[in-house]
Structure 1
Amino acid sequence: MRVVMFGYQTWGHRTLRALLDSEHDVVLVVTHPRSEHAYEKIWSDSVADLAEEHGVPVLIRNRPDDDELLQRLEEADPDVIVANNWRTWIPPRVFGLPRHGTLNVHDSLLPKYAGFSPLIWALINGESEVGVTAHMMNDELDAGDIVLQEAVPVGPADTATDLFHRTVDLIAPVTIGALGLIASGRTEFTRQDRSRASFFHKRSVEDSRIDWTWPAQDLERLVRAQSEPYPSAFTFHKGRRLEVLAAVVSEGRYGGTPGRVFYREGEGVVIVAGADARTGRNHGLAVRRVRTDDGRELPATEYFTSMGGYLTNHP
């Protein structure tokens, strides 16, 4: 089939690589300009560079809604558009143009975690598995019929980076498998159960800020979700920013006020956590490794030279 590809960053790069290695003919690539956004500088393999290396025409757009783009698409005469990690709305006159419509590839198990940063949100929320979904695009974001979907389990120590590497390897088989079904003539696919749908926004610095009223189990997952190269989870100690690089849920239960620097336990320093910490029924977050605002990285047992005081949401 003749394919036009819309994509960005490593997700788009892997999709384009799979298409170039397949029996399909990539006739045009549309991608975004480079960005300085913290999350868009991560996993930033260039779709444009890969296309140009293979002699595929490239268009750079923030939004795919201009007449010149539409004309180029009509001239390309695609059987299908394949999109992955396209960051803005694609209008119906674009996604409905190809003979077989537009196939969107999304790194979650739709209908859950539509939208942005699905792996990070899924890890924070304690999901047991994540994956990749190829679905037909319609008027509603990430809501079209599912063509193909594959999942991988989430382990108890997995970071968002681990899950990225595991799911990015699913892009090629899911994309090419879905295109095979479309090329075979299938037009009926699995409708999404919209009663199970959830939609998440882009992550920003504010979303990495530790809220000590969260349960320790949630905070431990937040720390893993914000693993390198993502911006680390952070808090404030004595008015200065402190990044939490590694932490586990405490063995003991600790009562008091959320954010209290309380007790040395094993290799960590326990911070009281949970909105109902006053009951004494909660585990704390045993912080094991931190980074100071001047870039020093050290064990929490060396950073906290004495117990007492509080970690806070703001300076």
Structure 2
Amino acid sequence: MRVVMFGYQTWGHRTLQALLDSEHDVVLVVTHPKSEHAYEKIWSDSVADLAEEHGVPVVIRNRPDDEELFARLKEADPDIIVANNWRTWIPPHIYNLPRHGTLNIHDSLLPKYAGFSPLIWALINGESEVGVTAHMMDEVLDAGDIVQQHAVPVGPTDTTTDLFHKTVDLIAPVTIGALDQIASGQAEFTKQDRSRASFFHKRAEEDIRIDWNWPADVLERLVRAQSAPYPSAFTFHRGKRLEILSAVVSEGRYGGTPGRIFYREGEGVVIVAGADARTGLNHGLAITRVRTEDGRELPATAYFTSMGGYLVARP
């Protein structure tokens, strides 16, 4: 099939590579310009560079809503558009243009975790598996019929980086498998159960600020979700920002006020956590490694030289 590819960052790069390695003919690539957004500088393999290396024409747009692009798409005469990690709305006159419509590749197990940063949100929420879904695009974002979907388990110590590497390897088989189904003449696919759908926004600074009212197990997953190269979860100590690089749920249960720097346990320092910490029934978050405002990384036991005081959300 003649394929136009819309994509960005490493997800788009992997999709384009899979298409180039397949029997399908990539006739045009549309990608975004480079971004200074913190999350868009991560996993930033260039779709444009890969296309140009293979002699595929490239169009760079923030939004696909101009007449010049539409003319280029009509001239390309695609059988299908394949999109992965395209960051803005694609209008109906574009996604309906090809003979077989538009296939979107999304890094979650739809209908859950539509939208942005699905791996981070899924890890924070304690999901047991994540994956990649190929679905037909329609008027609702990430809501079209599912063509193929593959899952991988989430391990007890997995970070978002681990999950990225697990799921990015699914892009090629999911994409090409879905295209093979469509090329064979299949036109009926699996409807999404919209009662199970969830839709998440982009991550921002506020989303990595630690709220000590959260339970310790959720905070531990937040720290893993924001592991390098993602921006680290942070709190404030004595008016200065403190990034939490690693932590575990405490073995003991600790009562008091959320955010209290309370007790050395093993290689960590336990912070009281949970809105109902006053009951004494909660585990705490045992911080094991931190980064200070001036960039020093050190064990929590070396940073917290005495117990007492509080970690807080704002200086």
Give the TM bin, normalised by the shorter chain. over 0.9
Once the two structures are TM-superposed, the CA of residue 206 in structure 1 deviates from its matched residue by 1.0
In structure 2, distance between residues paired with 1:45 and 1:293:
30
In structure 2, distance between residues paired with 1:109 and 1:169:
15
Q: Residue 144 of structure 1 corresponds to which residue in structure 2? A: 144
Q: Residue 50 of structure 1 corresponds to which residue in structure 2? A: 50
Q: Residue 307 of structure 2 corresponds to which residue in structure 1? A: 307
Once the two structures are TM-superposed, the CA of residue 167 in structure 1 deviates from its matched residue by 0.1
Aligned-partner residue type, residue 158 of structure 2: D
Aligned-partner residue type, residue 288 of structure 2: R
Q: Residue 15 of structure 1 corresponds to which residue in structure 2? A: 15
Aligned-partner residue type, residue 173 of structure 2: P
Once the two structures are TM-superposed, the CA of residue 169 in structure 1 deviates from its matched residue by 0.2
Q: Residue 107 of structure 2 corresponds to which residue in structure 1? A: 107
Aligned-partner residue type, residue 78 of structure 1: P
Q: Residue 182 of structure 1 corresponds to which residue in structure 2? A: 182
Identity %: 85
Secondary structure in 2 aligned to 1:40? helix
1:146-190 Cα shifts (integer Å, max 9, x gaps): 000000000000000000000000000000000000000000000
In structure 2, distance between residues paired with 1:248 and 1:104:
37
Once the two structures are TM-superposed, the CA of residue 254 in structure 1 deviates from its matched residue by 0.2
Q: Residue 293 of structure 1 corresponds to which residue in structure 2? A: 293
Report how many residues are paired: 315
In structure 2, distance between residues paired with 1:173 and 1:218:
32
Secondary structure in 1 aligned to 2:38? coil
Matched ranges for 1:1-315 at <5 A = 1-315=1-315
In structure 2, distance between residues paired with 1:246 and 1:72:
49
Aligned-partner residue type, residue 101 of structure 1: G
Aligned-partner residue type, residue 250 of structure 1: S
1:25-57 Cα shifts (integer Å, max 9, x gaps): 000000000000000000000000000000000
Q: CA RMSD in A?
A: 0.2
- Give the gaps of 5 or more residues in structure 2: none
In structure 1, distance between residues paired with 2:184 and 2:135:
16
Q: Which segments of structure 1 move beyond 6 Å, counting only runs of 4 or more?
A: none
